[in-house]
Amino acid sequence: NLADEPISGEVWIDELRLSGIKKDRGVAMRIQSSLKLADLGSANFTYSRQDADFHRLQERLSRGTNTAENLNVSGKLDLHRFLPGSWGLSLPLNTSISRSLNRPKYFPGEDILVDPNAPPDTIMTQSETISFSTSLSKTGKSDNRLLKYTIDNIQTSFSASQSRSSDITYFEKWSESYTGKISYNIPFGRNNYIRPLKWMDGFPWIGDQFSSWQMYYTPSSFRTSMNFSEKLTWNRTRTQIRSPDSYNFGLNRSMNLDYKFSNNLSSKYSWSGQSKLNEYRGYAWMAVKNLDPGIVTNTTESMNTSYNPSVLKWLRPSFNYTASYRWSDDLSREGQNISAQLRMASNFTLTPVKFFEVFYKPPTKKRTGKRRTRTSRSREETEEPNNGKSTKKESKEFKSLSFIHGLFDKVNPISVSYTETLNRSANQIIGEVPMGYKFGWLPNHGLEQSDEVGTNLGNWDHKRDGSIRSGIKVSRAITINFNFSQNLSSTRSGTGIEQRTLTRDYITFDDLFQNGFPFPGWSFRVSGLEKWPIIKWFAKSASMDHSYSGKETRSWQFEEISPEDINFFSFGSFTEDYKDFERSSRINMNFSPLLGMNMTLKKNISVTFRHNRNMSLDELPSGLTIRKNFSYTSTGTYTHRGGMTIPIPYYGDLRLNNNVSFTLNFDMNDSEEFKSGDKVELEKGAFSSSWKAGLRISYQFSSKISGGLRYEYRESDSRTLGKKVDRDFGFDVNIAISG
């Protein structure tokens, strides 16, 4: 108080105390019983209850507010056991009844307890479900050919369920559903083929390949199915207001045909359709009588063709063509929506050493056993001069070819792949879609579109992907792998906007990522370092890793202009000519790891070390951002396995195994961000650095008791949060109880 006059006032303290705390105990129980009547059937009974006050050992308080009771009774009866076994039928019958009751402890929105002996129905949640299902199929094969390919391959099933429930809002909620399915599957034999070029067996060079060519005269398999589903739901509120019926009667049909034309040419076709039969409510048999599928709302078709010729041993090409089509009608607008996807993929695998062996294949080295008698050794000595001259002359002649063969053998198979994908869609078209548009040999559907469609006529998306992979085995311990990939995509929307995107492997060396060029990613691995000097003194096994992957991504957007097509193999001029239309670009380089080490020391000690460097450039018309991340990760682990033996009278020795492991880790991360508005001068932006060290001790006593102790120390520093220090200590104990 700095004034001369005294200050007076009042202080009010509101004291809050808790008294009469309820400590009600909760009980959870479950009763389960099963009955099996030989091979005729079985029955199961399950009852469970959990009070609202029940909580588990790891919970201090109960999280539930309801007392839940559940009853489930199910049974199965194999009706085919009452039929002659020679019929080979399977006719199981399954039924189940389930009931559930949830009684709240308090009235909704209040803290007033509910009388557990007379709870009102209006606050309880009750449900009851009755279900029934059966199926009919043939398990044995008939001797009659007609039955073998008809009745034996038909399977049918039917199920029905009815449920009713009530809660605080609804006096009654009703739901009933019926589903049925019939399917037919006929597998054809595998030996349904002829060999029209068998007479070419023995021809030089190509005789083996052409003589084994097989041509199949039957499909591989044929499958078709039809299933229906009927569902009715309605509800009645507590105020006795009944909702309208929600009724749906649907039919799904499908058909699949697989045909293998030859050894290396095969095709698959599938069709599926969905339709509504709501008009036949209560008269489903009329739809079957009239063979009426109802109003078709959705159809899909797909065809997949693969061709894998195997004429040359050193070249393995493969081709795949996939076409899929979808047609849908929501019945609320004029016209239908269609979409088609086309995908053509090709791959070529070239094995350099097999290609070289077409011209020269070194002789196979043969091992000769030791001579046992003096006579054989003397004979060998007399023949040595003549054989030595021919061998010496032959080695001089083919020594260079054997050396070249060894170089080709070090090159891994070269894999080149190219894939094109075209996605097309059109909205509210009117008319029958041509077959050529569905499967790709027509560029346009040629149909009119509804006037209601507006500007969103459809989309067009074209993607091209190419990649090449290979590697070099420098030695048994040193391997190098290379990978280069490139992707081009072009998307046109119905509004006339076109977007193009380029992605390819890339590398650059300057700070602003300006002087770069396409370059493949690589990975490098050296094993067997435990044989090197110094390392062999303490390491049982050691290896070193290094890898790099970089990507360049650029995107353009064009509106009211049609740019030229991008050449997949040469598009340097496109990036310069349309620089003004570029919306974003990104270049990232990842050394993950720049250096990695894996070592296993003596006495079960393992050590790992990783150093990663990641750099990226994000460029927009408004400026650019450069990010740099560096990380160091190291881990050391020591494991000890042991145990003890406890003698027990009248039982013998009891062996208890236990494992103890110590894990020490150290991590350090640094990240920096630089920004530039003029794309020349860089300013430092956000930054962060952190490091942490931790120790964990894990202990496992037998297979049912385990635990651990951990401690971790962390320090971090950032531009926004400043410096921060964290310490973490904890332990855990796990005990498995079973019985």
In this structure, is residue 612 part of a structural domain?
A: no
In this structure, is residue 487 part of a structural domain?
A: yes
One domain for residues 342 and 397: yes
In this structure, is residue 89 part of a structural domain?
A: yes
Q: Output the pLDDT for position 402.
A: 86
Count of the separate structural domains present in the chain: 4
One domain for residues 554 and 633: no
One domain for residues 486 and 420: no
Q: Output the pLDDT for position 415.
A: 97
Closest by CA to 452, choosing from 581, 333, 283, is 333
Two tokens at 360? 């020269």
In this structure, is residue 521 part of a structural domain?
A: yes
Q: How far apart are CA 359 and CA 365, in angstroms?
A: 19
- pTM value is 0.77
Q: Output the pLDDT for position 281.
A: 87
Answer whether residue 15 shows pLDDT above 90.
no
Q: Are 708 and 659 in contact (CB under 8 A)?
A: no
* Cis upstream peptide for 593 (omega within 30°): yes
One domain for residues 463 and 558: yes
Beta-carbon contacts of 184 under 8 Å, excluding residues fewer than 6 positions away, are 153, 154, 155, 223, 224, 225
Q: Are 356 and 411 in contact (CB under 8 A)?
A: no
* Cis upstream peptide for 84 (omega within 30°): no
In this structure, is residue 349 part of a structural domain?
A: yes
Q: Which of 402, 428, 456 is the last residue of a domain?
A: 456
What band does 382 get if pLDDT is binned at 50, 70 and 90? very low
**Which residues, in sequence order, are bridge partners of residue 594?**
none
What band does 172 get if pLDDT is binned at 50, 70 and 90? very high
CB-side neighbour CA atoms (13 Å) of 96: 17
Closest by CA to 586, choosing from 670, 465, 484, 504, is 504
Q: Look up tokens 């059966």; give the residue.
A: 134
Q: Output the pLDDT for position 607.
A: 95
Q: Which of 109, 144, 168 is the last residue of a domain?
A: 168
Report CA-CA distances (Å) from 223 to 152, 187, 271, 302, 390: 13, 8, 11, 15, 67
Q: Output the pLDDT for position 60.
A: 63
What band does 366 get if pLDDT is binned at 50, 70 and 90? low
What band does 394 get if pLDDT is binned at 50, 70 and 90? low
Answer whether residue 373 shows pLDDT above 60.
no
Answer whether residue 133 shows pLDDT above 60.
yes
One domain for residues 420 and 446: yes
Q: Which residue segment(s) compose the domain that 407 sits in? A: 312-363+392-456
Q: Output the pLDDT for position 387.
A: 53
**Intra-chain end-to-end CA distance of the chain, in Å:** 74
- pLDDT digits over 654-706, tens only? 677 788 899 999 999 999 999 988 877 888 888 999 999 999 999 887 777 88
Answer whether residue 397 shows pLDDT above 80.
no
In this structure, is residue 73 part of a structural domain?
A: yes
One domain for residues 451 and 468: no
| Strand 66-78 relative to strand 92-104, pairing | antiparallel
One domain for residues 627 and 512: no
In this structure, is residue 99 part of a structural domain?
A: yes
Q: How far apart are CA 197 and CA 213, in angstroms?
A: 7
Q: What is the mean pLDDT of the chain?
A: 87
One domain for residues 498 and 570: yes
Greatest alpha-carbon pair distance for the chain in Å reads 136
One domain for residues 573 and 628: no
One domain for residues 113 and 39: yes
One domain for residues 446 and 559: no
- pLDDT digits over 291-309, tens only? 889 899 999 999 999 999 8
The CA radius of gyration of the chain, in Å to the nearest whole number, is 38
- pLDDT digits over 144-156, tens only? 888 888 888 999 9
One domain for residues 82 and 161: yes
In this structure, is residue 376 part of a structural domain?
A: no
Q: Which of 125, 152, 168 is the last residue of a domain?
A: 168
